Structure 1
Amino acid sequence: MRMTILSTLATLALLTQPVIAPAQETTGQSMTAPGKAAFSQTVKETTTVVGIDPATRTITLKGPKGVSNLVAGEEVRNFDQLKVGDKVVAEYKQALSLDLKKGGGGIAGQTERESGERAPLGAKPGGSAAREVTIVANVVAVDMKKQLVTLRGPKGNTVDLNVQDPDQLKNIKKGDQVQAVYTEAVAVSVEPASKK
């Protein structure tokens, strides 16, 4: 069920990708504190339905940069509710938070959660899906001169992170852990054509 929802929303969200331009709104923010950092971004895109082929379930969308076609699979509920002139609105959110765990001692690991919803029967097509991945990695090296922190993840892979803030860097020691939480969500809705 959740993979159907994710694939449905991904399909609808991809619809708007080739036609991104002035109809795209992007907002973002970041926050840092000793041993913590958080970043987030939201992108909202709007296109207009200019054609529908019920036989092939193909939707033609128009945006500021042109026209694109999307084939809506059977998992797209309420296809028959689409009308020429409807607006397809996709909102995509990403967030990442980092939290330093002094002294470590925990086990490096990874967890993942997914959720989603489809439009109710009889409504315009749409829905939402979200995914959250939490990773705990061990600090295996700190290079103050190069401003690098080396982390080892739960699968044994390592990554070097550049930490440019000296106040943040001085707090990190070998043996500490870093917990990273990455969240992404997409919501797709169809708004009725405006009546003339």
Structure 2
Amino acid sequence: MKPLRTLTHAIALASLMTAASFSVHAEDILISGTALEDDVVTKVLAIDMDKRLVTVEGPNNTQVPIQLTDKAKALGNLKVGDQVNVHVTRSVATVLDTTVGGEPGASKEAGVIRATKDNPNPGGEAFRQIKITSKITKVDLKTHEVTLLPPEGPQKVVKVEDPELQEKMKNLKVGQTVDMVFTDVLTIKTQH
């Protein structure tokens, strides 16, 4: 399982490093970046193979049904009573592109790694990365507000409350873009 854990950390680190590497270029500045990790350990209470439904133990001994798709190839190896370990890594990075003329947009990448012959237990790893680009349409230094045009929907006004960021607002220009990069990595391990 070491390669899966390594991949989890690599993807989470890559998303933050991608954002951080923007700050190395003269045109992109990392505004903020955070990463959170959480672990959940539970056990399998029931399996309905026909409906591809697995029920696990939730908080306070509740039952949590999980609907699986046909992509869960090793479902037949899962047994009632198996322990399920879920590790979630989330990161968010915000990057300012100082080039004027960018357009709002959105992109998404995703991937999955499943059980292998070396590790036939059901489980695997999935990642998703979403990048949302918003265009700066107004900068108000007196009220410390920046108006952003997202890819879809009405403009959004963001109040800048951090005094350090307020000081840097004087460098913002209408037409620059702000990228928000969201990365989620989910690792599921099971054992009998």
| Common fold by TM > 0.5 | yes
Cα distance in 1 between the residues matched to 2:57 and 2:141: 51
Q: Output the aligned Cα RMSD.
A: 2.8
Tell me what 1:76 maps to: 72
Tell me what 2:124 maps to: 127
Matched, 1:139 2:136: yes
Matched, 1:50 2:45: yes
Note the C-alpha offset of 1:120: 2.7
In the TM superposition, structure 1's runs of 4+ consecutive aligned residues that sit over 6 Å from their partners are none
Bigger proportion of residues as helix: 2
Note the C-alpha offset of 1:70: 3.7
Partner deviation per Cα, 1:8-30 (whole Å, 9 max, x = no partner) = xxxxxxxxxxxxxxxxxxxxxxx
Partner of 1:169: helix, strand, or coil?
helix
Bigger proportion of residues as strand: 1
1:30-179, aligned counterparts within 5 Å?
36-54=31-49, 57-68=52-63, 69-120=65-116, 123-155=120-152, 157-172=154-169, 173-175=172-174, 176-179=176-179
- The farther-off stretch of 105-114 and 70-79 is 70-79
Partner deviation per Cα, 1:167-187 (whole Å, 9 max, x = no partner) = 212323232321221111212
Partner deviation per Cα, 1:73-125 (whole Å, 9 max, x = no partner) = 44322222122331111222221111122252333332221111222367111
Q: Which runs of 5+ in 2 are unaligned?
A: 1-19, 24-28
1:174-189, aligned counterparts within 5 Å?
174-175=173-174, 176-189=176-189
Cα distance in 1 between the residues matched to 2:153 and 2:47: 49
Note the C-alpha offset of 1:46: 1.1
CA change 1:139–1:46 in 2 (3 A) is: same
Q: Which runs of 5+ in 1 are unaligned?
A: 1-31
Cα distance in 2 between the residues matched to 1:96 and 1:120: 30
Tell me what 1:27 maps to: none
Partner of 1:83: helix, strand, or coil?
coil
Query: What's the TM-score, normalizing by structure 2?
Result: 0.69
Partner of 1:171: helix, strand, or coil?
helix
Query: What's the TM-score, normalizing by structure 1?
Result: 0.68
| Residue correspondences, number | 161
Partner of 2:62: helix, strand, or coil?
strand
Any conservation in 1 of the 2:124–2:187 contact (CA below 8 Å)? yes
CA change 1:152–1:73 in 2 (3 A) is: closer
